[in-house]
Structure 1
Amino acid sequence: MGGTRRIMTRQISSFFFLIVCAAFAVQDRPNIVWLTTEDNSACWYRLYNPEHGAPMPNVERLAKDGLVFNNAYSCGPVCSVARSTIISGCYSPRTGAQYHRNQVPVAMPSGLRMFPYYLRQAGYYTTNNKKEDYNYRTEDKEGVWDESSGKATYRNRQSNQPFFHVQNYMRTHESRLFGNLPKETEYVTDPAGVKLFPYHPDTLLFRKKYAQYLTLNAVVDAEMGTLIRQLEEDGLLDDTFIFHYGDHGGVLPGGKAYAHNDGLQVAMVVYVPKNWQHLVPAERGSRIDGFVEFVDLSATVLNLAGVDIPEGIDGKPFLGKGITFDDLNKRDTAFGYAERFDEKYDMVRFLRKGKYTYWRSYQPFNFDGLHAFYRYKQPAFREWRDLANAGKLNAVQSAFYKARPPEELFDLEKDPHEVNNLANDPSYADVLIEMRRALQQKEKALPDVGFFPEPVVLSESDGNAVEFGRKNKERIEALIDIADLQLRPFPEAMPALEKALNSAVPAERYWGLITCSAFGKQALSLSKEIEAISASDPDRFVRTRAAEFLGLTGAADPVPVLMDVLRHSTDPIEVNLILNTVVLLRDGAGIQFDLSNVGNAAWMKMGGLVPHRVNYLEGGTGELPKKK
């Protein structure tokens, strides 16, 4: 009996010894937490804008014991596009995820999973609270999160299990500017003292919205402070990297949804835990000038966790083993893209290299202020349009409501809000050519499937846009070349344009017509040929673009052609693209349309985005009544 007691005593002692060891075990991999705010450009933070930014003491605390990235970029200027870039590690125009939000979800690249899957396979506990907003298929989410919900927390992991947790904060979302601050919330700054962006009108409403947004940043900072204190109370700060970033830029008009610096440059602050300082290339408290992009976040997290980075992603790690300070600071390029926002179409690509930014507007007649129902729920947006229509804005402020140049070049050091276009300045000719060629090379290398209309990609790719792009790479390169005829003098471009208009390939005729519209009345010598295309081309998208040219230039009445195209359309995704031209011609050229002529079309009763356009064209705001 005594022997049995001694054995039991040893077993109990060993058991408690293991418990004590487990409690004091050194974690073999770091934890990683993301604190993500909505619609939040870097320029709204005191950390980046000491004189006019919002005080955010909790973010500043992270910076004091971490790294501040001075040049961090969301590749997409709107939620679903930015988040699709992050979760895949791929540039969205390569995967077909560049539209907000995809009307038909697309597939992840073959053989590639959303990156938290790899963390989970390596033993990490992965949680997301709670926004996803990915443009990928539901089946691509399988095995990615241990939990993704409003209740997800790292606290449900097993003892000493490393974790990756994402916490999303809505307080700074665009929708919070539709109304006013809660009555109990006081401004952190006087509206009279805010510094307005040069492209915004100086009105009391705009000043109040600036002050409101600065205040919301201070409020969300306090919310993030709660989770930071929780990590501290749980004894986790010494083993946990904490990333803070906005999910893209914004949120006042001209930021969110636009591939401009104010829509793409975000804060990026990374708290560095004491036990894992060896995984970063600089001392805590440092600021990093090297450029980082959202496409790099997946590779960075995997590298910090010691997990192999899968082939097929576009991003490169900026922290973890093998990353040096010198290599990081050599990074000087960022790429961005804007295409469809809800029902509004456009196509802009953005490139920053060094201190210069380059905008390439492939459909420059689609002026920035073209109606989208969600945009104009914001009072400041509505006031801006009203002032533009009344002729009460200066040249810089009114540019948002006018056709753009096909390419624009800016010096951010002198012009941080990109209002002084240097593209036509001879002293910047070498810079312009360098930026133009760099973007051309980027687009062709992807390849960028945005050069095909969205409905074409969806119908011909079976949702696999990557494979579609691979098969059509040479064709995409040819389409880019046709689009870039916009950058030549018209007499020089005309022979190649005539060739495109007579091509047997519909997409080449399509881009030839868009390029003619970019030239505007310079291309009227081709109007008879384009009028014939509008009447008889077998492709509805080609006919639409031909009618668009005729309407924008006044060469002929586009209404009969567009009404005929709409009567024969059955796909609501196709119809939404065509209705973008209708809205452009009505609001930009004053051409009136009567949709009763197509009142029996099946798409008039379909869901999706079309009802928003129909509502707006029939005199509404585009916002639909909520279903009871």
Structure 2
Amino acid sequence: MARPKVLVLLEGVVAVGLGLCAVATLAFGAAPRPNIVWLTTEDNAACWYRLYDPAGAPMPNVERLAKEGIVFNNVYSCSPVCSPARSTLISGCYAPRLGAQWHRKILPVKLPPGLHMFPWYLRQAGYYTTNNSKEDYNFAPSEKADVWDESSPRASYRNRRPGQPFFHVQNFGRTHESQLFPNKDNSELETDPNSVDLFPYHPDTPLFRNKYAHYLDLQREVDWQIGDFIRQLEKDGLLDDTFIFQFGDNGGVLPGSKGYAREDGLHVALIVYVPKNWQHLVPAPRGSQVDGVVQFVDLGPTVLNLAGVPIPEGMDGKPFLGPGVTLEELNQRNQAFGYADRFDEKYDLVRFLRKGKYTYWRNYQPFNFDGLYNEYRNKQAAYREWWDLYQKGQLNPVQRAFFEPKPPECLFDIEKNPHETVNLANDSHYAEVLADIRTTMHDWVTGLPDLGFIPEPVFVRESQGDGYSYCQHNKQRIARLVEIADWQLRPFPEVVPMLEKALQADDPLERYWAVITCSAFGKEARALADSIRKMAASDPDRLVRMRAAEFLGLTGEGDPRPFLMDILQKTDDPVEANLILNTVVLLKDGPSRLKFDLTPLRSAAWFNAPGEVARRVRYLMGEDEANK
């Protein structure tokens, strides 16, 4: 059978990319190309590896890869939860410019025109591509066409044609957060709970120590599984021609890490085994460590570069291995961008920036405290204990912060403070650093532009799943919304005239963000309460009414419940209802401590919707507690 013309062309490009200039086109096996394997563990931050932290788990099989490869010390998953992180990996694009940043997708989105998931390009170049087996992409099913030769629990590189190069992904779920839902007695653990080092924001209790020890044991178990796979490659005689990437799909998994755009939720391990026959494709010798910052958007382009396949212009990432990459340039990379939006039913909007030795959190809705109830997370007993201790007043200020409103921005020196507990944003000694990183963040979110500033119900209604086109069409609008949000960072008297005008804007999203900014100022914004009270009662947009009612509840300037119940009664959109219910939970569990009775809403169109709405309803009706 004749090979497709596109394959012949790309094989010629591969040959040139690998320096095999005498070869015009390649038949399988006629000229070598490296194999590439990803060994991906779930919910696995770098700090859990002894390679990165003395308190981490010994992982001899991963450490073997490190001795014969490269350890990347500063790697960021972009998102702290599976589906946006994996969507970033497979596309090479930042999720918020595509509408792929919410976990999990309510509306599957398209890739930019002409762009494919990166394994598609490998297939066109003759690679056998397999995934075993988790995908969890936020893209439309049609985007997966022709990406994998096989994606299933049976997928294996062994099914390729003789001599055919391969790209294989092997996923390991042993470290997933769900593995900590069952409780184990200390006698069942290999790691001594008394030996663990607790993060400073966690309470020192027997339960937390038990969960730390349990998770360290899981690291040992997944290392054994990784070792079995490496031995399989070795038995097949493939190690000398196969790059092996070992990394976590996001950070985690003790409370306060997975799901949160911060160092413990985003900083993952990455160890790349370098095969003997392909050492010329890497910029550092085997056994090296690299300090340059790498992001998940970079991994797909790196695989393409190692394979000699041209990197599509539509990808955001750039390769860190392969032709054209120098160690000097790689170590100059010092920035990483991260994002946290909706996690299941819980909403937030946080953007993270690593720049040099500093990390920066931009909390665009700072009243949405981190510990806001999430049903899935609360299946882990340590989460429940943490909340119980907070309610009893038994936590210190660092431990309490998880359940209290956040500052609009935070700045940390992670060399001195790796778990980000000492906020330097108000320290005058860091004013220049803060100004610089704040500007960089503004440029990131406006430059994408960032679809997180469009409420998810609006995006679902208006985008038709074409997030990229919708994003470009709304670029100026998003820039305006970012401007209104950034008024949170200025003195309130300075922005009052601008807020008064924005509260009357024609665009409902300008009014929406103006009210959010007022809520960020809290009681300081009481001077605008009369206008906002009228908006809660009669604004033509339900989401603006919701944010206005939220302001009243947060500041004590009025009872938000009649307005919220009326809005919930009138909406027939489950996505909109879930966003409104987020405010209900915030006002129930936050400082306002308001009681809500959802019984009158049983006849509402959204009330019996599955998924996110069902989780919120169970919690607010008290059914989740009864079932624990």
TM-score (norm 1): 0.94
Cα pair 1:95 1:466 within 8 Å, conserved: yes
Cα deviation code 1:341-396 (max 9, x no counterpart): 00000000000001000000000000000001001000000000000000000000
User: Superposition pairs for residues 240-389 of structure 1, below 5 Å?
Assistant: 240-389=242-391
Farther off after superposition, 132-141 or 592-601? 592-601
2:139 alignment counterpart:
136
Cα deviation code 1:572-625 (max 9, x no counterpart): 011100100011011111111111222211111222311110110001228999
Cα pair 1:200 1:397 within 8 Å, conserved: yes
Cα pair 1:345 1:580 within 8 Å, conserved: yes
Cα pair 2:345 2:616 within 8 Å, conserved: yes
Give, as a single letter, the amino acid of the residue that structure 2 aligns with 1:620. Answer: E
SS of 1:605's equivalent in the other structure is coil
Cα deviation code 1:173-208 (max 9, x no counterpart): 000111135999642x31101100000000000001
Confirm whether residue 544 of structure 1 aligns to residue 546 of structure 2. yes
1:400 alignment counterpart:
402
Question: Within 1, Cα distance between the matches of 2:184 and 2:205?
Answer: 18
Cα pair 2:186 2:193 within 8 Å, conserved: no
1:123 alignment counterpart:
126
User: Superposition pairs for residues 47-62 of structure 1, below 5 Å?
Assistant: 47-50=51-54, 52-62=55-65
Cα pair 1:373 1:623 within 8 Å, conserved: no
2:97 alignment counterpart:
94
Residue 111 (structure 1) shift: 1.1
1:6 alignment counterpart:
none
Question: Within 2, Cα distance between the matches of 1:25 and 1:249?
Answer: 39
Question: Within 2, Cα distance between the matches of 1:103 and 1:532?
Answer: 32
Match of 1:469 among 471, 475, 495: 471
Question: Within 2, Cα distance between the matches of 1:331 and 1:272?
Answer: 21
Cα deviation code 1:462-499 (max 9, x no counterpart): 11111111011011001000000000111011111111
SS of 2:623's equivalent in the other structure is coil
Residue 25 (structure 1) shift: 6.0
2:505 alignment counterpart:
503
Question: Within 1, Cα distance between the matches of 2:188 and 2:83?
Answer: 30
Cα pair 1:63 1:271 within 8 Å, conserved: yes
Cα deviation code 1:255-274 (max 9, x no counterpart): 00000100000000000001
Question: Within 2, Cα distance between the matches of 1:445 and 1:186?
Answer: 49
1:216 alignment counterpart:
218
Farther off after superposition, 178-187 or 525-534? 178-187
Question: Within 2, Cα distance between the matches of 1:425 and 1:183?
Answer: 43
Cα pair 1:612 1:623 within 8 Å, conserved: no
Cα pair 1:77 1:337 within 8 Å, conserved: yes
Question: Within 2, Cα distance between the matches of 1:391 and 1:351?
Answer: 32
Give, as a single letter, the amino acid of the residue that structure 1 aligns with 2:397. Answer: A
User: Superposition pairs for residues 165-176 of structure 1, below 5 Å?
Assistant: 165-176=168-179
Question: Within 1, Cα distance between the matches of 2:400 and 2:530?
Answer: 33
SS of 1:530's equivalent in the other structure is helix
Cα pair 2:29 2:164 within 8 Å, conserved: no
Question: Within 1, Cα distance between the matches of 2:405 and 2:136?
Answer: 31
2:15 alignment counterpart:
none
Give, as a single letter, the amino acid of the residue that structure 1 aligns with 2:588. Answer: R
Match of 1:41 among 33, 40, 45: 45
1:447 alignment counterpart:
449
1:70 alignment counterpart:
73
Question: Within 2, Cα distance between the matches of 1:184 and 1:201?
Answer: 22
2:481 alignment counterpart:
479
Give, as a single letter, the amino acid of the residue that structure 2 aligns with 1:139. Answer: S
Match of 1:109 among 109, 112, 121: 112
Question: Within 2, Cα distance between the matches of 1:182 and 1:378?
Answer: 15
Question: Within 2, Cα distance between the matches of 1:405 and 1:608?
Answer: 31
Question: Within 2, Cα distance between the matches of 1:93 and 1:77?
Answer: 13
Question: Within 1, Cα distance between the matches of 2:473 and 2:447?
Answer: 13
Cα pair 1:66 1:271 within 8 Å, conserved: yes
Cα pair 1:248 1:265 within 8 Å, conserved: yes
Give, as a single letter, the amino acid of the residue that structure 1 aligns with 2:45. Answer: S
Q: Which ranges in structure 2 are unaligned for 5 or more consecutive residues? A: 1-25
Q: Answer with 1 or 2: which has the greater Rg.
A: 1
Question: Within 2, Cα distance between the matches of 1:73 and 1:195?
Answer: 23
SS of 1:158's equivalent in the other structure is coil
SS of 1:602's equivalent in the other structure is coil
Residue 107 (structure 1) shift: 1.0
Residue 104 (structure 1) shift: 1.4
Give, as a single letter, the amino acid of the residue that structure 2 aligns with 1:553. Answer: T
Question: Within 2, Cα distance between the matches of 1:31 and 1:185?
Answer: 40
1:162 alignment counterpart:
165
SS of 1:251's equivalent in the other structure is coil
Question: Within 2, Cα distance between the matches of 1:546 and 1:384?
Answer: 31
Cα pair 2:358 2:413 within 8 Å, conserved: yes
Question: Within 1, Cα distance between the matches of 2:203 and 2:516?
Answer: 31
1:17 alignment counterpart:
none
Question: Within 1, Cα distance between the matches of 2:345 and 2:624?
Answer: 13
Question: Within 1, Cα distance between the matches of 2:336 and 2:627?
Answer: 37
1:30 alignment counterpart:
34
Residue 459 (structure 1) shift: 1.0
Cα pair 2:529 2:557 within 8 Å, conserved: yes
Question: Within 1, Cα distance between the matches of 2:624 and 2:379?
Answer: 9
Cα pair 2:189 2:213 within 8 Å, conserved: no
Question: Within 2, Cα distance between the matches of 1:213 and 1:497?
Answer: 48
1:207 alignment counterpart:
209
Question: Within 1, Cα distance between the matches of 2:618 and 2:460?
Answer: 25
Question: Within 1, Cα distance between the matches of 2:627 and 2:580?
Answer: 20
Question: Within 1, Cα distance between the matches of 2:187 and 2:156?
Answer: 29
Question: Within 1, Cα distance between the matches of 2:625 and 2:241?
Answer: 49
2:614 alignment counterpart:
611
Relative to structure 1, the CA distance from residue 228 to residue 429 in structure 2 (aligned partners, 3 Å threshold; closer, same or farther) is: same
Question: Within 2, Cα distance between the matches of 1:624 and 1:116?
Answer: 43
Question: Within 1, Cα distance between the matches of 2:197 and 2:320?
Answer: 33
Question: Within 2, Cα distance between the matches of 1:121 and 1:26?
Answer: 17
Cα pair 1:54 1:218 within 8 Å, conserved: yes
SS of 1:291's equivalent in the other structure is strand
1:15 alignment counterpart:
none
Cα deviation code 1:400-448 (max 9, x no counterpart): 0000000000000100000000000000000000110000001000000
Question: Within 1, Cα distance between the matches of 2:380 and 2:532?
Answer: 39
CA RMSD between the two structures: 1.5
Question: Within 1, Cα distance between the matches of 2:133 and 2:140?
Answer: 18
State how many pairs are aligned.
601
Residue 28 (structure 1) shift: 1.6
TM-score (norm 2): 0.94
SS of 1:583's equivalent in the other structure is helix
Give, as a single letter, the amino acid of the residue that structure 2 aligns with 1:558. Answer: P
Residue 26 (structure 1) shift: 7.3
Cα pair 2:449 2:472 within 8 Å, conserved: yes
Cα pair 2:186 2:210 within 8 Å, conserved: no
Identity %: 65
Question: Within 1, Cα distance between the matches of 2:626 and 2:351?
Answer: 28
Question: Within 2, Cα distance between the matches of 1:471 and 1:482?
Answer: 19
Question: Within 2, Cα distance between the matches of 1:427 and 1:465?
Answer: 41
Residue 224 (structure 1) shift: 0.4
